[in-house]
Each structure stands twice: as structure tokens, then as C-alpha cells.
Amino acid sequence: MIHMAFMQPDLSPVLVQIGPVAVRYYGLAYVVGIVAGIWLIRAVLPRSPLVIDAPAIDDVAVFAIVGVGGRLGQVLVYEPAYDLAHPAEIVQTWTGGMSFHGGLVPVVLAGLVFCRIRRLDPLAFGDLLVLVAPVGIGLGRLANVINGELWGRVTAVPWAVIVQRAGPEPRHPSQLYDALGEGALLFGLPWLLAVRAGSLRRPQRTCVGRPHGTRH
């Protein structure tokens, strides 16, 4: 029933605009997720078998990798024809257009290269990334709410929302489902497994190392 649904505010995706440069909520979710991730890795690192110096964790190149990768994901997945016809706009991340898909692949590749250079166990390092990644993912889903995108199917559940850009029909708040599932749930469960249960010191038994452990 439409009268029982919540009206989702039609908010601007831009937090701050200074001339042609705009700070968008989705981009801010990337930055806050990375900063929080670095802080969390530092906090949990003593429980890990890895030996990594603090300056290495703060490598600013990660910010560039995620930013460029997220933009490339937008270009390749959503608007390839337009962006290839306007190549100068591909690097203009301040105009919007960031994709989680594009940010994920470069981070995984950079992590493997990092482990190769520093001779680290990629499974143990991957467990650290798994612990902190849901923070950025959850924030990104909340940014989807602000952007008024990725809405759910039409429904009659009491907690349905009306997304103005999607029409008058009440819909599932799928962005909030994802924020809870991909953010809060995927953050809490690995932390209970790896930190509270002490399995972070045994990468063959933790999140990334599980397939490895089945072979032994």
C-alpha cells in the first residue's frame, strides 16, 4: 500500500561543490572506508602472523588505485560508449561516476603485488583485507541511498520506501539490505571468527584461507 510506505528524500549526491570540483558522497565513502580500513588493520595486526611496518600500511598509492579503478569500472560497465567518445572525462572523478566493481579488481591485484614484493603470505594478508573491506562496502551502499539508485522491487511490506526517481510505487529498500548484509553482517562475522576466536593466526582456517585449508 502506497500510503504505508516511507518517502525516501531526494538528496543531492554532492556534499560540497567548489567550482568544477565536487565532493560526492560515493567518493567520500571510498575515502572514509580506506582510512577506517587502515586504522583497523593497524589495530588487528598484532594478532596476525604478518610483520608489516606501519608506513607500508599508509601507502598513499592505495588511494589512487581505488580511485582510478572505481572510475574505470564506471567507464567499462555503465557508459563505455559515451566515455570512449569523451576520453578526457574518464579521469574527472570529481564529476561523479565511481564503481565498486572497478575498485575491487585493482585492490586485489595491488594486494598480490604487495605480498610478492614483501614476501608475505597472501592468505594472511587477504584475511586482513576481508576484515576491513565491509566498512567501505557498507558506506558505499548508504551512499547509494543518498544518490537515489539501486532501488529494489515493488513490494507491499510495511517498511517499503518510495524512491522519487523510480516512480510512485513502494519498493524494497535494497540499498539498506545490502548495507546491513554486505556491511554490518560481513564485518561482524569475520571479526568474531578471526579476532575473538583467535583464528587470524591460522590463515588456512580463516575467511580467505578456507579453500586452501580444505586441501590439507
Q: What pLDDT tens digit does each residue of the chain (216 aa) get?
A: 444 567 777 777 788 888 877 777 877 887 888 888 888 888 888 877 777 776 677 664 565 455 555 556 555 555 666 556 655 555 555 445 555 655 666 677 777 887 888 788 888 888 888 888 888 889 888 888 888 888 899 998 999 999 888 888 999 999 999 999 988 998 888 888 776 666 566 655 555 544 433 333
Structural domains in the chain (count)? 1
Cell triple for 66: 581505488
E strand or H helix at 110, and its extent? helix 100-118
pLDDT at position 1 is 44
Please tell me the predicted confidence (pLDDT) of residue 206: 55
Integer Cα distance of 201 and 29 in angstroms: 30
Q: Residues 6 or more apart from 170 whose CB is under 8 A from it?
A: 1, 2, 4, 5, 154, 155, 156, 160, 161, 162
Residues paired with 24 in a beta bridge: 14
Q: What would the grid cell of residue 204 be?
A: 588456512
The DSSP H or E segment spanning 88 is: none
Q: The pTM is what? A: 0.70
Question: What pLDDT score was predicted for residue 2?
Answer: 46
Check residue 172 and give its pLDDT.
Answer: 93
Domain residues for 80?
Answer: 2-213
